[in-house]
């Protein structure tokens, strides 16, 4: 017996440690949250990603565009009405239809309300306070994701993801947009991080909040993490956590809708009924082909989006690293792309929920590049594997440079509307009771937060648009509880949406693209220019140069119009 034990000890001592022995076990313990090793000491600390993301999200909050008029008229305007008693109302907020949840607005009013008391009439500061709040939520959720990835898969993958989250155009723009799809993106990010940290109950609870408080259709994005959380965790605990979170938010949403719409209605169900169960006619607001989201994905993530499409091909080469957990986390990208591409009505913001997952998938492909050339039967690295390792930072750097180029082009090419409306506060000498008129540029109206108190009305003027435009909330009819007869769900223009007497306009905002036909502001005997900024002419500018900033070429090769703020001349000045 003793002789046998001695032989075993000698054999063990003579055998060098291998990747399948002690080293592998210790690596697994180091990477597994809650393992024997000190996981927090091995991964990236919280401070670095929080600082980097915080700085970039603050930049986004202060300089981001408003990319979609739905953000203004379905969220900023109702929020403005809740705070100040004035703002535009869309048909979705009519009590007859009640498609939008007031609970989502109340959540943001937790910041906007105190900010409105602090800043008083400086409403623009309230606007940016809400944006900073959105940037903070984005920073926190993405920091948790980066830390979770570093503990599970190592610092290199986490650093790659951090760099993409910071500098990708898509995340820069989506992170501070006041949209339910952005809120769903925050929830997807945090739910995925909690899943990787094996906090399964928390992952499912966050998913429930993202669906009900954010965007109900994003349930497809949360599905893989939710299902595997139920399988891996204590089923009863995970299920009850998700159930009670859902119940809580459903009750709150129902109460908020009843309070604001003035009747028993449920906006979450109304929205699903309109879009899924029949009666919905979202195609009235435009349709796109199957390639729309692929073109859009390339614009916002450039070559990183191509790497995402290659991720499923990488998994067989790196399955020991990424399967199944990272595959579960990233799989919603493909589910969502397939589902949304089949819908006729497409918009850029519909992809927001998967933006952070796109960064994770692309970073995983870059990190796995040497695995394509790795020979598991040899301890030596081949020349191709060494080259692949050297290419990783170069590929990442190229993607980040292209992303910054896209962001710079967007901000400088289309940033004029927000800046022009901020000029209004410097022209209060126009006098109280002034009327601001907006024609074809109604869809770039940045919200009533940019309208100073000396302007009594913002009116639309007819420039040929025949769809339904927002009307001011009508306090006489009941404010949020009103069901005005001029609203319809067919996108048909309503009587009275345009100001017929253009002579009543005191101020005018318009875009002069210098086409052969004259603009209203070209009549110098009637209007004087208070401010004018260049605005990229999308139709006449080459696709490459308008999409990406190329030094020394962007300004030369693109065509620009002028975004103008005009004031009517007094008769004695005409």
Q: What does the pLDDT profile of the chain (574 residues) look like in tens digits?
A: 444 444 444 444 444 443 333 334 434 434 444 333 333 446 799 999 999 999 999 999 999 999 999 999 999 999 999 999 999 999 999 999 999 999 999 999 999 999 999 999 899 999 999 999 999 999 999 999 999 999 999 999 999 999 999 999 999 999 999 999 999 999 999 999 999 999 999 999 999 999 999 999 999 999 999 999 999 999 999 999 999 999 999 999 999 999 999 999 999 999 988 887 755 566 667 788 899 999 999 999 999 999 999 998 888 877 778 889 999 999 999 999 999 999 888 999 999 999 999 999 999 999 999 888 776 656 677 888 889 999 999 999 999 999 999 999 999 999 999 999 999 999 998 999 999 999 999 999 999 999 999 999 999 999 889 999 999 999 999 999 999 999 999 889 999 999 999 999 999 999 999 888 778 877 888 899 999 999 999 999 999 999 999 988 999 999 999 999 999 997 544 4
Identify the burial level of 85 via C-beta atoms within 10 angstroms of its C-beta, where 0-12 means exposed, 13-18 middle and 19 or more buried.
Answer: exposed
How far, in Å, CA of 420 to CA of 390, rounded?
Answer: 47
Helix H segments across 64-122?
A: 69-71, 77-84, 102-119
Distance CA 102, CA 483 (A): 16
Q: What is the DSSP string of 279-303?
A: ---GGGG----TTHHHHHHHHHHTH
Q: pLDDT at position 507, please?
A: 96
In angstroms, the Cα distances linking 152 to 4, 149, 342, 426 are: 40, 5, 35, 53
Task: Return the number of other C-beta atoms located less than 10 Å from residue 550's C-beta.
Answer: 15
- Return the sign of the alpha-carbon dihedral for residues 357, 359, 365, 367: negative
Sequence spans of domains, the chain: 46-414, 423-568
- The rounded distance, in Å, linking the Cα atoms of 548 and 414 is 13
CB-neighbour burial class of residue 231 (10 A; exposed 0-12, middle 13-18, buried 19+)? exposed
Nearest to 225 by CA among 192, 189, 199: 192
Whole-angstrom distance, CA of residue 368 vs CA of residue 346: 33
Please give the structure tokens belonging to residue 71.
């953000």
Q: Exposure pattern of 89-99 as b/e (b: 16+ CB <10 Å)? A: bbbbbbbebbb
Angle, vertex CA 542, rays to CA 537 and CA 546, nearest 5 = 60
Taking the complete model, does pTM exceed 0.75, yes or no?
yes
**For residue 530, what are the contacts with CB-CB under 8 A and spacing of at least 6?**
423, 427, 507, 565, 566, 567
Buried b vs exposed e over 420-446: b needs ≥16 C-beta within 10 Å? Answer: bbeebbebeebeeebbbbbbebbebbb
């Amino acid at each position: 017996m003793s002789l046998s034990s001695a032989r075993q000890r000698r054999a063990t001592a003579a055998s060098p440690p291998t990747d399948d022995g002690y080293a592998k076990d210790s690596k697994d313990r180091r990477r597994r949250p809650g393992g024997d090793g000190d996981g927090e000491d091995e991964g990236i600390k919280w401070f670095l990603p929080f600082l980097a993301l915080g700085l970039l999200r603050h930049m986004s909050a202060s300089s981001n565009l408003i990319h979609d008029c739905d953000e203004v008229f379905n969220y900023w305007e109702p929020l403005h009405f809740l705070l100040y008693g004035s703002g535009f109302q869309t048909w979705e907020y009519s009590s007859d239809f009640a498609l939008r949840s007031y609970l989502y607005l109340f959540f943001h009013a937790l910041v906007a309300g105190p900010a409105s008391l602090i800043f008083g009439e400086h409403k623009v500061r309230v606007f940016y306070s809400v944006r900073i709040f959105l940037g903070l939520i984005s920073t926190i959720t993405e920091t948790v994701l980066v830390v979770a990835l570093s503990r599970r898969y190592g610092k290199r993958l986490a650093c790659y993801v951090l760099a993409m989250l910071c500098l990708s155009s898509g995340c820069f723009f989506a992170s501070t947009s006041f949209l339910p799809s952005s809120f769903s993106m925050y929830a997807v990010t945090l739910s995925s991080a909690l899943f990787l940290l094996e906090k399964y109950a928390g992952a499912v609870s966050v998913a429930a909040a993202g669906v009900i408080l954010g965007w109900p259709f994003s349930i497809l994005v949360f599905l893989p993490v939710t299902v595997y959380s139920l399988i891996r965790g204590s089923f009863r605990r995970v299920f009850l956590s998700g159930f009670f979170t859902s119940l809580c938010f459903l009750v709150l949403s129902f109460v908020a809708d009843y309070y604001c719409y003035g009747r028993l209605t449920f906006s979450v169900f109304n929205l699903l009924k309109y879009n899924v169960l029949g009666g919905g006619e979202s195609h009235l607001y435009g349709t796109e082909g199957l390639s729309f989201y692929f073109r859009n994905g390339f614009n916002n993530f450039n070559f990183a989006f191509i790497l995402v499409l290659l991720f499923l091909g990488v998994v067989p080469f790196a399955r020991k690293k990424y399967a199944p957990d990272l595959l579960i986390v990233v799989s919603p990208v493909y589910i969502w792309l397939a589902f949304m591409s089949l819908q006729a009505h497409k918009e850029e913001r519909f992809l927001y929920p998967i933006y952070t997952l796109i960064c994770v998938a692309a970073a995983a492909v870059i990190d796995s590049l040497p695995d394509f050339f790795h020979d598991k039967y040899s301890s030596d690295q081949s020349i191709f594997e060494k080259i692949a390792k050297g290419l990783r930072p170069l590929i990442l750097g190229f993607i980040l440079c292209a992303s910054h180029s896209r962001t710079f082009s967007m901000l400088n090419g289309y940033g004029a509307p927000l800046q022009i409306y901020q000029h209004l506060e410097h022209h209060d000498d126009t006098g109280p009771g002034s009327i601001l008129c907006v024609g074809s540029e109604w869809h770039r109206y940045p919200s009533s937060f940019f309208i100073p108190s000396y302007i009594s009305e913002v009116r639309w003027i007819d420039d040929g648009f025949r769809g339904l435009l927002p009307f001011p909330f009508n306090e006489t009819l009941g404010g949020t509880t009103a069901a005005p007869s001029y609203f319809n769900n067919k996108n048909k223009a309503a009587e009275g949406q345009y100001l017929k007497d253009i002579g009543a306009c005191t101020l005018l905002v318009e875009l002069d693209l210098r086409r052969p036909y004259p603009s209203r502001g070209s009549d110098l005997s009637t209007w004087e220019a208070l401010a004018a900024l260049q605005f990229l002419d999308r139709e006449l500018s080459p696709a490459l140069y308008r999409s990406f900033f190329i030094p020394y070429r962007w300004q030369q090769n693109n065509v620009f119009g002028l975004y103008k703020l005009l004031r009517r001349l007094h008769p004695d000045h005409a």
